[in-house]
Every structure is written in structure tokens, then in C-alpha cells.
Structure 1
Amino acid sequence: MKEVILVGRPNVGKSSLFNRLAKQRIAITSDVSGTTRDTNKTQIQIDDKSCVLIDSGGIDDSNELFINVKNNTLNAAKCADIIIFMVDGKMLPDDADKKLFYSLLKLNKPIALVINKVDSKKDEERSWEFNEFGASVVFNISVSHASGVDELCEWIYKQLPQANLKFDTDDFDEFLEDFNEQGELDLDNKAIDYENKNIKVGIVGRVNVGKSSLLNALVNDNRSVVSSIAGTTIDPVNESFVYNDRVFEFVDTAGIRKRGKIEGIEKYALNRTQKILEIADIALLVLDASEPFTELDERIAGLVGKFELGVIIVLNKWDKDHDGFDKVAFEIRDRFKFLAYAPIISVSALGGKRIHKLYPLIQEIYQNYTQRIKTSELNALIEEAVRTHPIPRDHGKIVKIFYAAQFGFAPPKIALVMNKPRSLHFSYKRYLLNKLRERFNLNGTPVVLIPKNKGKSETDI
């Protein structure tokens, strides 16, 4: 455990700071110079990290006793890991303080110059005189008024090693019980048999991108009417297909036009399309490789994201050489950043090219979409991620994840039980999602991460 030592001349407030950081009166304090003569140690806690705090005797050369105290203090400083050098802000700096500070700098340890007793504007102005020390880390504090101490603690915290995260199993079990009582936990929900239910696959895209041709190719039948007239399909068309003993229910949805161009009964077709997506598991987002992508393609893709579906991006009418696939895929990734998890496959529905690759891909994504991640593996990953890249603080206050729990399927839904859910920045959430995708097979499926307050029924996000 790291040791933090308070060093300075007599009567600069070392023992007072020691007591405040220890949150109890341990060291004897008085106005009498040299009250502390021996080193005093105690273990303190700064947020989730611990260290040993050492109160040393004041350094003074006035007599033989104080010389012995000085030698004892300097020896302790050599053994310590972090040095807090304290001076009296009511006084001007002197050569003895500077000489002592420079000697401690030579130890090549983290060191902070702490100017105590800064209680007024006049004291703040005087504190500028201590710039001549050339210290890179300086704090103005007033132990008696508790000002500046939090900033000092934050600096000490950064010098300490990352805390060893340990999830409390008892608390975790209690959380699961509470979550279940709130009706949010779906892990043991037998109402939906994900392993045996039919896999519902919605085929979506703008008009005339070849959705009906794709359906016909998938089920090996001319089930949907195909023509070059945009908007031929109005009603959703259902067709089942068995693959590896699993039933795939394909639905060819009506082509979606820009809102201003929705005519007649196509207005109702749009509503029916959205309803199909509400009950679908997987969406085949069909794009036309023979034409430039449009803003409407992006809007339709947004519907897939809105309904949190598993998704495959199907690049139809692909009659080109595969040399250009990487370029087109790059453009798709750039346009549909919110579907970065979706695989891209090129096909030719009319020619039947690469259609066979869709079946195993749909089955794989459905398994990912409905999978249950082991609680122990999930928490081990979160622990490792936080240790590698600690959560940024919120105004100096630590933000901590107590544990994680998957509470739902289709798609995987994971609660992060925290002390400050609102303080989890979206960029850190994205970092955790990336770590999850690196560790587990989540190809083609969204993952829902919900920061949640410990012991509260409502989510605090």
C-alpha cells in the first residue's frame, strides 16, 4: 500500500491536515512549535483507494532534539511514496524551506507544495511568493476552514494505483431480486421460448430496391409480385422457410417513400411496415447497389435502430466485380454509423447470387440477439475495462460501477448498477460496448446498456 508523508517545519499544520484526512482526531495539535516529534501512521480511504498517511515531526535545527526529529522525518520521507511538503501561508518563504524542498525533489517522487493557512485574499496574494520554489504541483489550502483539501485529495488519488474492483455477490443477488420484483428482469421469462420460436425476418428498404425479388429468392418461389413499377408491394407478404430445423418467417414490407410522396393506400402501408418491425427479430435492410445511396436509405435504416432489431445490410443488384466491394462498404459504414455492428453482404436477388449465405447469417445473428451472457463473465469484463480505463470523475467525485447484470433478451439488455448513473458519459458507454463486442459474439445485434441507481426502481440516465 502506498505511503503518503506530510513534511514541513514545525507549526505549519501537518497534524491538523493529518486528522482531517484521517477523519478523526489522532495526532495531538497545539500552537506550541514541535508538538509532533515522532512519525504517526494511519490508513485512510480516498474514495475507492486506500493509502497509509504519515504525520512527521517538524523539521528544525534549533537544538539537538529537533535535529534528531529532522533526521527521523527525512528517513521516513525517503521510504514514503508520495510527499506533501507543507508551508505556512501566513509567512513569507525562507531559504530553509526552499533548501529542504529541493532536497526532497531529488528523491524523484510525486511531491506537492501545500501552502496552508490561506484564509483570506491577502493570504492568497502572499502565496504567490512561493512561486520561487518552482514547484510543479501547488495547492492553497486552509485546514481549519477545509478549503482546498478536496483538490489535494484528488491529486493524491491520482498518484495511487487503481483500486482492485471486487463485486459484492450478496449485493448482486439482492439487486437481481429487486429487479425481478420491479418486473424488469426477463432472464427467466418462459413466456417466450427463444430457442424454438419462429425467427421473424422483416425485409425493408425504399421502393424498387428489390425486396420482393429477394423474398422470392429466399423462399425459392414467386411469392411476391415483382415489377419495375415503384410501390408494387402494398400489403406485407409472409412466407415461411425451414433452415437447419428452424422456421424463418420472411415478411416483404411495402416500399417506403419520402413522406411527401406517400400516396393513397401507401400511407397505410407505411404504418403496417412499422408494425411489422415492432414484432420482427431480424431486419434485412436492402440497398440498391446500382444507384447512389440516399437520405431516405438512412431514414429507413433509422427505423431498424429505433426498434432495436438484429440487422443485416443487404447490398442488392450487385453485378460488379468484388474488387469494388470494400469501397462501397466503407461508404455504407460512413453513412450508417449507428448500424456499425451490422454485417454487409452483397447479393443479386434476380440472379440468385450469394443468397444462400443469408440463411446461416440470419441464424447466427438471431443467436447473438437472444443470447444470455454469463454473469461472472460479464462482470469480469466490466472490471477489466474499468481497471484499464477508469471512469472519468464527475466534479471530483468518483463514478463507480458496482456490478453489471443482463436483464433481458432480444436484444441483450445490460444494467450497469452505479453510484452516479447520470455521470456515465456516452463516450465511456461506447467504450464499454466496444469491449463487450470484442469479448462476446454480438455480430449483427444492438446491445442496450442502461446505467441504473443501486436500490432504485427507476433508471437514472
Structure 2
Amino acid sequence: MNKNKVSEILLLGLPNSGKSTLVNALTMNKTSIIGSKPNTTRDKISKIISYENDKDILISDLPGFLEKPDEFNINYQNNIDKFINEADKIFFIIDIHTKDFSGLDSIFNIINKKNLSKNVLTIFNKCENFDKNTLDKRLYKYVYNECFFVSGYHKLGLERIHDYLKNIAKKSINEHNYTTSLTIIGRPNAGKSTLFNALLNKERSTVSKVPNTTRDKIVENFETNQRKYLITDTAGIPRKKHKDQIDRYSSEISIKSLENTDIALIVVDSEIGLSFEDKRILNSSIENFVTPLLILNKWDLLDTEQKEDINNSIKRDLKQYRWVNVVRVSALNTKNINQIAKNIDFIETQLNHRISTSELNSYFRELWVKSPPHPFRGKRAKLKFVSQFSTKPPEFGFSLSSRIPKNYISFIENKIRENFNMSVIAFRIKINA
């Protein structure tokens, strides 16, 4: 039973029973990845549904249950007892057209063996244009308590499910309203999921030697000694020519996740170094004013000479972004993992730092006199006013009499980093002229 404040609904079903489609229909977005290929979902995906009166419920989608799991799903098949025990209710999702009664029996036997029947509801999916009177009588065996006939794809019959969820949803106490979000991102097999599990101190994300095991976004709560965060593990971003349709969609979700995060934990395979894809992620992060933390994973696999080479290479590659913090770790051995938490807290402090308007104007008026910008198109800009109008990321507005050269904007950025406790974060400067 789930001891958290928010009730959890766990979806169990055979591969391609439409669980991911149903989750997306209920939550009205594409948190889970949908494909016609069975067992597209490879991880437990959890999503909060919020109802009126501040009531929340957690709905979790598992990989389709396999009698003979492959390497991608064996961790989750083995841990299915744990997931079932954590859930408050179970939705048994059945494709109304299925003939795989052996597979259904496998799930049926697990439910009965654990005496969970009172917590299970049956949902028959893909019921568009289906006459309930023609239901295969063999499926009656799998009906527990209430029974729903729906179509996740066509969004039919969902009202009854929402009514049920509203009745069991619990009032939120802002337990999931974490103020700062983290996203783990990087190339396939760089060790993102291993790092995710190491930070959480539990196996939550699928780990495999096969690249691109994680295809979905996985969201969890993460606490350091000082603060609480929301942390997301994303799919690896392969080279373009190596992407299939599902991987391409996974990559889009991963890159797009940068738009809704505060800190990007960019995981790099130390044996490879900063690749073209890693640089692309770094640039995307900074372009979105998301603060990157570069994590060189598998550091323990390098000898002294290799470490020196990688350090020199990183210095060259980060010439434009010398302010970016770098942490060297071994996620597999949890070596130096505590340094990541310390860096996250340090970055979060800077992201929330606010500078008074008087302090900014005093400093930059003096700077404008000592080191004025060169004329731009024949005009030398005068500083009218400067202020910080937001945090996380910090945004600064400079009101000028005319435009200034780009290199002077970089000069301003460096001065803010040097003098105002924003040395390792991304922030925005807006020029109004």
C-alpha cells in the first residue's frame, strides 16, 4: 500500500493492450510513448492528475507484462511485486479483442496469489464500435469489482474512470509542488539511468548494457540534505542516422524537456568525451536559459593520462562556457555522487538569488563611466536604468538610449557573474533601446 499522501493507481496489462494510450488520454498529454510495436513502454511512468479542491492522484504505467521478459523488461518483471505493493489500486487493462488468455492468466494468478482482488478494477480497452453483449465469455473470468468499457485512443468512456478517480483522490499538501526541477539528459548508454538510480538510492530506472534502454520520461522526487527537487530521467539522444521512429520521438521529448526544467544534468561518457551530441545538448540547454551541470560519468575507468587528456579536452570545448560546473563521478560505484547534490544545491541558490535595483544601478552606472560601450552605428549608448525582474532563471533588463555591440553584452554578462553571486548559472539579459 502506498504510504505517500497521494494515492497511486497502477496499470497492469499485456503488451499493446493500450495502457500508454489510456494514460495519455486520462492525463491529456504524451507522457508515455505510444507505438504499434508491443512493449514500447520500458519503464514505470508516473503522472499526477489534479482535480478540483486540490485533490491529486498518481497514475502509473508499467511495461506490458511478459511471460518471457527480454533484457529490457526483466528488471521490471522481477520487481512487479514491489510496484504492486506500493499501489493503492490496480487497473487491469485488457484489449477487448485479445485471444491471449495464457498471458491474461499470468496476471490473474499474480493478483489472486497476493489476495489483491478487492483493490483491482478491470478496464476493457479498444471498445470503439463494440457491442458489450458480444463480449467473449472467457473474459468474464478477469472482471474484478467494477468494470469499465473504454477506448483510450478515441477517448470514449473516460468520464466514469475520472469519476472513480475523483472519489479516491486525496487532498494534496503540496508534496509534489517542488520548486526546482532537474532533468538528466545525454547520449545513449552514458549512464543516465544508473546515475538516476544512484541519486535516488534505489533501482527506479531500467539499466542495461544495450544503448537506449530508457525511452520514456521517468519522474521522481529527489531530496538533498537541504532541499527537495523533482528529477526526470530522459531517453538517450542518439545520432540522427541511428534513430528509429520511437527513438526519434523519445529524443524529441528529451530535448523538449529542457524547456520545462531549471537544471540540466548532462551526463557524458568519460571514455568518449564531449561528443557532437553532448555539445548540442549543452547549447540547447543554455539557449533555453537552463543551467547545465556537466557530469563526466565512468571516471573510474580512466587512467591518469586519460583523465588529463579529457580534462584538457573539456577546457577547450567549454572555452565559450567556462562558467559551467563539471563533476567527475562513477554512477555505478556511487563514487562522488554527493558532489552532484552539493552542486545542485549551489546552483539552486544562485538561480533564486535576487539583486536589488539600487545595487544594480549603482554598479552599472559606475561601470558605464569606467568602461563605456563602443558606439554602435555611430551612437554611444547611455544607461537609463537596469533591474532584475525575475529569478529561476534570473532575467535582467537594461534600458538604454541606443543599441550596443554584442561583445559588450557578453562583457555585462561576465560582470554579473563576477560580482553578483551568479557564477555558475544561465541567465537572460534583455536590452531595451
TM-score by length of 2: 0.56
Of 330, 352, 375, the residue aligned with 1:393 is 375
Matches within 5 A, 1:269-284: 269-284=250-265
Q: Please tell me whether residue 370 in structure 1 is matched to residue 352 in structure 2.
A: yes
* Residue 213 of structure 1, CA deviation: 0.6
Distance in 1 separating the partners of 2:291 and 2:377 = 38
Equivalent residue for 1:74?
none
- In structure 1, the residue corresponding to 2:222 is in which secondary structure? strand
1:384 maps onto 2:333 in alignment: no
Partner of 2:323: 341
1:345-364 alignment, distance < 5 Å = 345-364=327-346
> What is residue 50 of structure 2 aligned with on the other side?
none
The question of whether the paired residues in 2 share the 8 Å contact of 1:402 and 1:419 is answered with yes
1:373, 1:322 → 2: CA distance?
Answer: 42
**1:130 corresponding residue in structure 2:** none
1:72-221 aligned at under 5 Å gives the runs 197-221=178-202
For the Cα contact (< 8 Å) 2:273–2:310, is it kept in 1? no
Partner of residue 244, structure 2:
263
C-alpha distance in 2 between matches for 1:322 and 1:425: 43
Which structure is larger by alpha-carbon Rg, 1 or 2?
A: 1
Q: Give the Cα separation in 2 of the matches to 1:207 and 1:395.
A: 47
Counterpart of 1:439 in structure 2 is 419
Within 5 Å, which residues of 2 pair with 1:292-303?
292-303=273-284
Q: CA deviation at 1:209?
A: 0.5
Deviation at 1:245, TM superposition (A): 4.9
Partner of 1:409: 391
| Distance of 1:323 and 1:435 partners within structure 2 | 35
Change (3 A) 1:405 1:394: same
Write out per-residue CA displacement over residues 72-116 of structure 1, whole angstroms, 9 at most, x where no aligned residue.
xxxxxxxxxxxxxxxxxxxxxxxxxxxxxxxxxxxxxxxxxxxxx
Q: CA deviation at 1:357?
A: 1.1
Q: Is the 8 A contact 1:385 1:432 kept in 2?
A: no
Structure 1 299/389 Cα, relative in aligned 2: closer, same or farther at 3 Å?
same
Amino acid of the structure 1 residue aligned with 2:281: I
The counterpart of 1:240, out of the listed 221, 236, 240, is 221
- Which residue in the other structure is 1:427 paired with? 407
Decide whether aligned partners of structure 1 residues 338 and 238 sit closer, same or farther in structure 2, where only a CA change above 3 A counts. Answer: farther
Q: Matches of 1:230 and 1:432 in 2, distance apart?
A: 42
Contact 2:178 2:230 in 1 (8 A): no
Q: CA deviation at 1:337?
A: 3.9
Partner Cα separation in structure 1 for residue 289 and residue 231 of structure 2: 18
Task: For 2:415 and 2:308, locate their aligned partners in 1 and report how far apart those are by CA, in whole Å.
Answer: 25
Tell me the alpha carbon deviations over residues 360-415 of structure 1, each in whole angstroms, 9 at most, x when there is no partner: 21011012112211112211221232222121123543311112111222211111
- The code of the aligned residue for 1:352 comes to T
Determine whether 1:308 maps to 2:293. no
Tell me which residue corresponds to 2:91: none
Tell me, what secondary structure is at the counterpart of 1:351? coil
Q: Distance in 1 between matches of 2:304 and 2:221?
A: 31
What secondary structure, in the 3-state scheme, does the structure 1 residue paired with 2:245 have? Answer: coil
Using a 3 Å threshold, how does the CA distance of structure 1 residues 397 and 198 change in structure 2: closer, same or farther? closer
Are residues 375 and 324 of structure 1, via their aligned partners in 2, closer, same or farther at CA, if it must alter by over 3 Å?
farther
Give a deviation string over 1:113-169, Cα, whole Å, max 9, x none.
xxxxxxxxxxxxxxxxxxxxxxxxxxxxxxxxxxxxxxxxxxxxxxxxxxxxxxxxx
- Displacement of 1:321 in angstroms is 5.9
* 1:322 Cα deviation from its structure 2 partner: 6.8
Q: Which amino acid aligns with 1:278?
A: E
Whether the aligned pair in 2 keeps the contact of 1:287 and 1:314 (CA below 8 Å) is yes
Q: Post-superposition shift, 1:324?
A: 6.3
Bigger drift between 201-210 and 317-326 goes to 317-326
Number of residue equivalences = 257
Question: How far apart are the structure 2 equivalents of 1:221 and 1:354?
Answer: 17
1:442 and 1:321 map into 2 onto residues whose CA distance is 34
The match for 1:37 is: none
Residue 333 of structure 1: how far off its partner (Å) = 3.3
The normalised TM-score by structure 1 is 0.53
Listed as ranges, the gaps of 5+ residues in structure 1 are 1-192, 454-461
Instruction: Tell me which amino acid in the other structure corresponds to 1:267.
Output: R
Q: Distance in 2 between matches of 1:219 and 1:271?
A: 25
Percent identity between the aligned chains?
32
Residues 321-332 of structure 1: pairs in structure 2 closer than 5 A? 325=307, 327-332=309-314
Aligned-partner Cα distance in 2 for 1:325–1:400: 48
Structure 2: state its 5+ residue gaps: 1-173
Map of 1:53-68 to 2, 5 A cutoff? none
Question: Structure 1 225/394 Cα, relative in aligned 2: closer, same or farther at 3 Å?
Answer: closer
